[in-house]
Every structure is written in structure tokens, then in C-alpha cells.
Structure 1
Amino acid sequence: MAQDTPQALTSDSVSAQHASQGIDPANPFKLSASLYNKDLAPTTREGRTWNAYSIFTLWANDVHSLGNYAFAIGLFALGMSGFQILGALGIGALLLFALLTLSGFMGEKTGVPFPVMSRIAFGINGAQIPALIRGAVAIAWFGIQTYLASQVLSVMVIAVAPGAASLQDTSFLGLNILGWICFVILWIIQLVIVSYGMEMIRKYEAFAGPIILLTFLSLAIWMLFESGFTVAMHTGEPKSGLEMWTGMLGAASLWVAIYGTFVLNFCDFTRSANSKKAIVKGNFFGIPINMLFFGAIVVVLSGTQFAINGTVITSPSDVVSAIPNTALLLLASGALLVLTIAVNLMANFVAPTFALTNLFPKHLNFRKAALISGVIGLIILPWNLYNSPEIINYFLGGLGALLGPLFGIIMADYWLIRKARVNVIDLYRTEPDGTYFFTRGFNPRAVAALVISAAIALMLAFVPALHVVSEFAWFLGSGSGAIAYLLLAKRQHDLADIDGEPIAVKPTH
């Protein structure tokens, strides 16, 4: 424990005072080694390096993911007009701006990662439940996204060295040899970046953000020239009246649901934010402004292609693959790889790394946990998961359905029950009189609220008769979680608001 305790706590004067009181001078706050290490500890105020630009570049990368483009382009294919798509994304963006700002403030105030934040509502041991659910979803998608990126790299390799296509004739464990080579290369790159911690992730996101924005803007401009500046705003007769508004609100709800993972563990990033103002400013330009820019790119790419030959693309990859110049094709494909790595790091690597660190804080630090997360993402053979609709729909879909209830419970507890008052030091103590000890480290009221709201969320996800409201499943799950918890929660809490600065650690990488 001594190495994880700030030096200011071990001065001679303080040590003598604590010794006279029967307190271990190396651990005056009685922090538990099963709950505290330097990676789970709060971040010091002076060590926080994430500014508004850092927050903005998170969204500059994540919003423009290929999965998001496939979703938004799909709205165009389903008959929504360009203006309706922009309206749906705009509504969703405003909702996300509010939710992510509230979630982000929690990290800025406490300086703790999501698994530790979960201790407030679920207890010091119960927090493993939301942390592992979030981590399991993320680690599976980390492997899947790395596999999808490796497919892009395979195309690039064959474009440069056509003879490499012969490596696709032999397969091992469900993946051809070229696929294995490309997957392992991208896997190693991501492990190296994450091994240097959150600061390196911040630098990579800051590097990737401008590249991504410039790439998609260039693709849109190129397509405008290809179509003679003709943009089809719809594929036929656009929806109108009640059908239009229902479609727009449903699409907006699904857009928010896509970020159901991020609204849950955004504190993993904002614990390093240097101010609330940085979060608000970064979120404003990164969410509503950037998402409308994203929507404009979607409309241009979809509308110009439809104007050219009456077909609807499924992804920007279709546009990239049609670039006639090999050098430009490689540049564009390289940019998509940069993008996929950026999205994977922030959305699918950080969460399981913190979850594992929280599970074994005595034995794992961020770097070791990141390595284990990466190894798990490899040995699950993610290409087989991706090619199995049952696993995607039932396992990952089922876990994903639980994210809404978790968010509702955690937010209701933090903002409505506790009024944003947190005893940060007690988050790392196992004493029975600790604020977050509850019953053997579990808050049974939060667990009960999760069981109730999870049942509702899973029915919405899998019962065919409820398909009519499936687009609003995240909000219904989140709302049911919040309501169930508010009905069950104990109101007489210790609302001491104690800062974690005395036990905080300055990030070293």
C-alpha cells in the first residue's frame, strides 16, 4: 500500500501524530488494498490534462465510426429524407449532450473511473456487477472491431502486393492467413498505445480527430464533383405527418442507444478533465455541432451516389473502394484504419481495462489489465462471434440491454438521492461503518432495482410483441431503472461531501 499513498501523507510530523493515535502513518485513511491502487485512485487536480479539445476529439473520432455511418445511411435507405435524417440526429444529439454532460460532471468532480463510481450506488463490492457487464460488452466488441479493421488492412495489402491474395487460400481457426497477419498487426498497435495509459490515448485521439474530419469532408467534396453537385434528398416519396415524426423520434432514440455504453462510463475520460467548462465546451462542439456535420456528410455521400446511379451505399467504405487512384485509395483506407483504432480504444478498450483493474487491484495495474483485455479479445476469436447472429443478438444484445437500467440507477442515485455529494475516500474503505459498505459491500436496493429494470429491458429486447416500442428500449430501460431505484432507495444517507485530493494520484503516463 505504501507505494500508492501520496508522499504528503508520510511526512514526519503527520507520521508522529498518527502514531500517537494508533493509525498506520503509511495508510492514514485506512484505504483497502482490495479497492485502491494508483490506477483506481482519484486523479489529482494538477495532473488533469484533458481540455475541451481533448473531449472534442473523442467525439470527432467516435461519431464518425463506420458503424454510425452504416446506421445513418440505413435511415436514407429506409425512406427518410436528408432533412429528416438531420432532424433525427439533431434531436438525438441534444439528448446526448445533456446526458453525457451530466455523466461527465461525475468524473470531473470525483476523479474516479467508472468501476469506482459504481460503488456509490451499488456498494464497494456490488460495483463489480456494472463494471463487468460494461467490460464484457466492450471486450467482445474490441475484438470484433479489430477484425473489421483487419479486413480493410487486407484490402490495402492486396492493392499494394497482389500476390498476397494467395494467403487467403489457407485458413486457421476460421480466419485466413492474411487475415491473421492483419489482425495481429492491428492488435499489437492497439496494445502498445493502451500500455502507455490514458495520456497516450488522449494524444492518439487528438492526432486522429483532424485526420478523420478532413478525410470525410474530402470524400463528400469528391462525391459532389462526381455527381455534378446533384444531391438526391430522398429515395422516393419521403415520409410525412405522424409517420415522419414517429420515424424521426425512433431514429433519435436509437442514436442515443448507440451511445448507451459511453453515457455509462464517460467518467473514465472526464476524470482527467481540467474543468467542467472543458466538458461542456468539448461536448458542445463534439456532439451537437459535430453530429450535424456527420449528418451532412451522410446526406451528401448517400444523396450523390443515389443521384449518380440510383443505388444507396451501405458505408463510406463503398465510396473509398470506388476511388480509381491507388495512392488515394490507400490514403483513404489508411484514414479509416486510424479511425477504427481511435474508436476501438475509447469505446472498447478502456472499460474492460478498468473493470479488470477493479476486480484484481492488488495484482493488476492499467498496463497489465490492458494486456489481459487484449489477449481475451484475441482468444475469443472475434470473427466467429461476428459471423454468429445468435451470439451477437442474444449474448451481446442481452448484455447491451442492461446498460440502460444501469445508467438510470447510477444517475438517479448520484443526482437525485445524493445530490452530487460524495465521500470519495470512503469509496476505498472496507470498514462496516463506511458510507458505501451497505450490506457486506452490496447495496441490495440497487441490485433489486437492476433485477426489476433488467427484466423489463430484456423483454423489450427479445419479446416480439414489444417490437413496436423497441426503438425506445434504451430510454424505457433507463427510465425503469431510475424509477425502480427511486422507489426502493434509502433516503437517509450520509451525504458528507469529502474530496478525494488527499488520496489522489497524479497520472504518470
Structure 2
Amino acid sequence: MSAPESAPPTPAVRPAHYSPRLYNADLAPRGSSAPWRTWDLFCWWMSAWHSLGSYTFAIGLLVLGLTGWQVVAAVFGGLLVLLVGCNLMGVAGQRAGVPFPVFARLSFGVHGANVPALLRAVVAVAWYGIQTYLASLAVVTLALKLFPGAAGLAEAQFLGMSGLGWICFGVLWVVQLAVLNRGMEAVRKLSDVAGPVLWIAIAALALWVLGRAGWSIDWNYRQGPALDGPHTVGAIVSGAFLTVAFLSGPMLNFADFSRNSPDARSIRRGNSLGLLVNGTAFALVSVVIALASAKLHGVAVTDPVELVKDIDSVTLLLVATVAIAGSAVGINIILNFVSPAYDFANTAPSRISFRTGGTITAVVSLLVMPWKLYSSPVAVNYFIGGVGALIGPLFGIMVVDYYLVRRGHVDVDALYSADPAGRYHYRRGVNPNAVGALVAAGALTLLVAFWPALSGLAAYSWLVGCIAGGALYLLIEKVHPQNREETP
């Protein structure tokens, strides 16, 4: 079987000094091909940001007591922080030319890298299933509109989901797996098309809702009591760091995509246009839709599917449903499918390819029954949220290690070496400094995120984790250095 398109043009035979326990064609260093240029990353961010989840998240900031324009300001502030973080991680990944789990070997060791990789995979797999389920609800709405006779299928229940729900979920599940099985080049082409098309769809939805609202909205609408000056500033800053936490996962594994870019300039430009400019514009359009829906229904509608149900035209309903389902598929593949596919491949490269890792992701996402997971706020908050809270420490450790400890120097060949004397073997393949910093900073972050006495700091859990993880790692490295890197 030929290698998937995600594999760079590397020799058919594994280099002799690369361990089969650490190498396969999908995890190989980037070859001469680097197709992910500014336009591709711009479209990637459009596909990543345009979703039901992003809309719901942005509108959810209204509960902090913010007005519409203050929500946009909060999102913009968060996107500025994300821009810096994605540039740092993206440029590092591009220079090394390796995917995230291989890049993590730099900090955590050739075997210890499975810790950050699997933590990221757990969050991605859970959200992959949830996003697929949410998209299937939109398809169910369309199916009932087109085929009223299918109402019986919508009533029969099996394992917590209707027969019609299973059919719609299954179709989306298969479509996404088919795209990923065609490799990273298929993912790039999908985002190049999906991003711009979904922008048109969300703009059309905004115009439709605005028209129904008489082309006027109240920018001072808020859900909650008015805040004074200091509390307003605090709420905006909280909203900004909640935005960072919302996209902290893809920021962590951004090397999976940026490694395929030709240079750092393409990454910075793609991030500026796609993340900052496009992300702010999408937040603005989302707020417009929410404020228009508030005028129509008395309260801002947080679920676009509920708005779509009001569409009388079957043609418009079809377009809206395809856009909503398409956005979920796009964001799922980009944010929640590619990462665990690489992460699972990293655990046993000789047996698990990128394609096999994608299949594992799809199967596990089905086994966790995401419709039940999503219906339980406790499960989402404590399981997914708890693991997700560790993303901040991971990011801090890896960025500090690359930029401050190693000064940007990477021995790529050593990332694939199982030699005990190798630079990234540390102690039995694990860097105790990175693991120790992760455990300590992770415990602190979990306390901030979940301990009621610190609830006022919960919105800053990513920031606390990032600073604590990076600072602890740097301190431990100064006291008990494990770094064997020769700085240039």
C-alpha cells in the first residue's frame, strides 16, 4: 500500500539510524514539499473558527455581563494572545519540520512525548465525537423537513439516540474518516474550499436574521446586570483568556500543520489574516446574529440550529443545513482528527500509521457515546475540562524549552534515535524535568479551574498553567539540567 499524501517525500526505506519504535513515513521530517502557504493557513483558520462551537462560545460571553461590542473586544484580545502563541509554536514546528508528537520529544524525551500527545488526543477525540453529534442534529432537522415520513425513525431510541439520529451521525462519521484517509493534502484542499464557502453561508444567515429583525439591533443588549468600569474591564479580560482556552488545543499542536509551510513569513501572515482578522470578523457576525435573534425572541439564541428551524424555504434550509454540517466536518477534521491521528501513530509508529491513527480516533469517538457525554455538564467539565486544563502547562514547557533553553536549536535526527546516549533520551526516554514541571503546574491549574475558593481565577487557568509550567521547567532545568543540546 502506498504512503498517504500526508507523508513527506522521504526514502522508501527507513534511515538506518532511525528507530522503528520512533519512526514511520507519516512522522518523518518534512521533505522538499511545503504546500501550506499563507492562503492555505488563512483558509485553515476559517475552517477552524467557523463552527457551531465558536458561535456558541462567543455568544456565551454575554453571560459575563458584557454588551455586544464588549464581547467582540474580549474575543479580539484573546485572539491577540493566540496569535503570539501560534506564531511561537508554528515557527518552531516549521523550523524543525516535524509533527507535534515528534516535536514534543524535544522537551519530554523520545518516549515521554507520549504524555503530552495522548493528553491532547483525549481532548480531541472527545470533542470530535461531540462535534459530529451536533452536526448530525442539523442533518436530522433537514431530513424531517424533506421527509416527514421519517418522523417514526426520529422517535425510536437505541443507546440514547434515535434511528434517524444514528443514520445521520453514521453518514457524517464515514465522510470524515474518508477525508482523513486521503491524507494531509486532502485536509488542505478541504480547508481551502470549506473556509470561504462557510464564510458566505454565515454571512447569508446574518443577513436573513437581520432582515427579520428590521435591520436594527441593540448593541447595548446584555444578559445580566450592568457592570461598573472595573468589573467591565475584568469581564473583558476574563473573556479574552476564555477565548485562549477555547483554542489552546490547536495552538499546542499547530506544528502538525505549520511544519508543512515553506517559511516563517507564511505562517505569521496566515495566522494574522486567518486567526486575528478573520476570527474577529466572525465574532462580530456572530454577535450580530445573536443580537438580532434577541430582538426577535427576547433572548439571544445560542444555537444556530434553532434559528435554522425557522426557515420556511426548503432550498434555504438545505443550504443552511449543509453549511452547518459542513462547518462541523471542517473543524472536526482540522482540530479534532488530525492531531490524535498523529498522536496515536506516535505511540507505536511501526504498527500505527496516520491512517490507522485516524481510524482509532473515529472508533473511540463512537465508543464514548458523545451524545451522552455532551448531555452531562459534569462529564464535560470534569473529564474534558480537567484534561484540557493541562494544555497550558504543556504549552509553557515546550515553548520555554525550545526558545529559552535550546535557543531554537534542534537535532532532528536525534528525535528518531532510541540510543540511550541520544540527546533526547534523557532517563529511559523520559525527561524528568518536563514531567515534574507538568505534574506540579498541572496540579496548580486544576485547583484554579475547579476549586470553588479560586473560582474567580477559573477563567485564567490556561494563563496560570502556562506561566507556572514554563517557569517551573526553566527553574528545574537551571538546578538539575537534563539538556544535552549544544547551542549554536
Q: What interval of TM-score do these two structures reach, taking the shorter chain for normalisation?
A: over 0.9
Q: Which residue of 1 aligns with 2:183?
A: 197
Change (3 A) 1:430 1:205: same
* Correspondence 1:157 to 2:155: no
Q: Which is further off, 213-222 or 306-315?
A: 306-315
| Aligned mate of 1:41, from 28, 36, 39 | 28
Q: For the residues of structure 1 that align with 2:90 and 2:328, how far apart are their CA atoms?
A: 23
SS where residue 345 of structure 1 aligns? helix
Q: One-letter code of the match for 1:310?
A: G
Q: For the residues of structure 2 that align with 1:458 and 1:132, how far apart are their CA atoms?
A: 18
Change (3 A) 1:138 1:283: same
Report how far residue 223 of structure 1 moved.
2.3
Post-superposition CA distance 1:269-306 (Å, at most 9, x none) = 11111221111111011111112211221221122222
* Correspondence 1:182 to 2:172: no
The answer (yes or no) to whether the contact 1:231–1:300 under 8 Å persists in 2 is yes
SS where residue 34 of structure 1 aligns? coil
Change (3 A) 1:412 1:234: same
Q: One-letter code of the match for 1:427?
A: L
Q: Which residue of 2 aligns with 1:454?
A: 442
Q: For the residues of structure 2 that align with 1:108 and 1:411, how far apart are their CA atoms?
A: 14
SS where residue 48 of structure 1 aligns? coil
The answer (yes or no) to whether the contact 1:77–1:235 under 8 Å persists in 2 is no
Q: One-letter code of the match for 1:134?
A: R
Change (3 A) 1:153 1:9: closer
* TM-score for the superposition, normalised by structure 2: 0.94
Q: For the residues of structure 1 that align with 2:452 and 2:244, how far apart are their CA atoms?
A: 22
Report how far residue 150 of structure 1 moved.
1.0
Q: Which is further off, 317-326 or 125-134?
A: 317-326
Report how far residue 78 of structure 1 moved.
4.4
SS where residue 111 of structure 2 aligns? coil
Q: Which is further off, 80-89 or 110-119?
A: 80-89
* Correspondence 1:118 to 2:131: no
Q: Which residue of 2 aligns with 1:465?
A: 453
Change (3 A) 1:309 1:8: closer
Q: For the residues of structure 2 that align with 1:451 and 1:77, how far apart are their CA atoms?
A: 33
Q: One-letter code of the match for 2:127?
A: W
* Correspondence 1:72 to 2:26: no
Report how far residue 449 of structure 1 moved.
0.5
* Correspondence 1:428 to 2:413: no
Change (3 A) 1:448 1:231: same
Q: Which residue of 2 aligns with 1:502?
A: none
Unpaired segments of 5 or more residues in structure 2? none
* Correspondence 1:250 to 2:238: yes
| Aligned mate of 2:18, from 28, 31, 53 | 31
Post-superposition CA distance 1:424-477 (Å, at most 9, x none) = 100000112211010110101111101100110111122110101101111001
For residues 7-22 of structure 1, the aligned pairs below 5 Å read: none
Figure out how many residues of one structure are paired with residues of the other and give that number.
479
The answer (yes or no) to whether the contact 1:76–1:234 under 8 Å persists in 2 is no
Q: If you compute each CA radius of gyration, which structure gives the higher value, 1 or 2?
A: 1
For residues 289-368 of structure 1, the aligned pairs below 5 Å read: 289-368=277-356
SS where residue 248 of structure 2 aligns? coil
Change (3 A) 1:56 1:411: same
List, as ranges, runs of 4+ consecutive aligned residues in structure 1 with deviation greater than 6 Å. 3-10
Report how far residue 361 of structure 1 moved.
0.6
Q: One-letter code of the match for 2:22?
A: L
Change (3 A) 1:176 1:316: closer
SS where residue 235 of structure 1 aligns? coil
* Correspondence 1:372 to 2:349: no
Post-superposition CA distance 1:323-357 (Å, at most 9, x none) = 22121011111101110000000111111111111
Post-superposition CA distance 1:244-275 (Å, at most 9, x none) = 10010000010000011011100001111122
Q: Which residue of 1 aligns with 2:77?
A: 91
The answer (yes or no) to whether the contact 2:448–2:461 under 8 Å persists in 1 is yes
Report how far residue 55 of structure 1 moved.
0.6
Q: For the residues of structure 1 that align with 2:9 and 2:304, how far apart are their CA atoms?
A: 49
Change (3 A) 1:166 1:6: closer
Q: Which residue of 2 aligns with 1:477?
A: 465
Change (3 A) 1:8 1:326: closer
Q: Which is further off, 245-254 or 58-67?
A: 58-67
* Correspondence 1:57 to 2:22: no
| Aligned mate of 2:219, from 223, 233, 246 | 233
Q: For the residues of structure 2 that align with 1:319 and 1:381, how far apart are their CA atoms?
A: 26
* TM-score for the superposition, normalised by structure 1: 0.90
Q: One-letter code of the match for 1:274?
A: P
Unpaired segments of 5 or more residues in structure 1? 11-25, 499-509
Q: One-letter code of the match for 2:89?
A: S
| Aligned mate of 1:144, from 130, 139, 159 | 130
Q: Which residue of 2 aligns with 1:132?
A: 118
Q: For the residues of structure 2 that align with 1:195 and 1:294, how far apart are their CA atoms?
A: 30
Report how far residue 169 of structure 1 moved.
2.3
Report how far residue 192 of structure 1 moved.
0.2
Change (3 A) 1:220 1:432: same
Q: One-letter code of the match for 1:43?
A: R
The answer (yes or no) to whether the contact 2:102–2:113 under 8 Å persists in 1 is yes
Report how far residue 191 of structure 1 moved.
0.5
Q: For the residues of structure 2 that align with 1:308 and 1:379, how far apart are their CA atoms?
A: 40
Report how far residue 238 of structure 1 moved.
4.5
Report how far residue 358 of structure 1 moved.
0.5
The answer (yes or no) to whether the contact 2:128–2:365 under 8 Å persists in 1 is yes
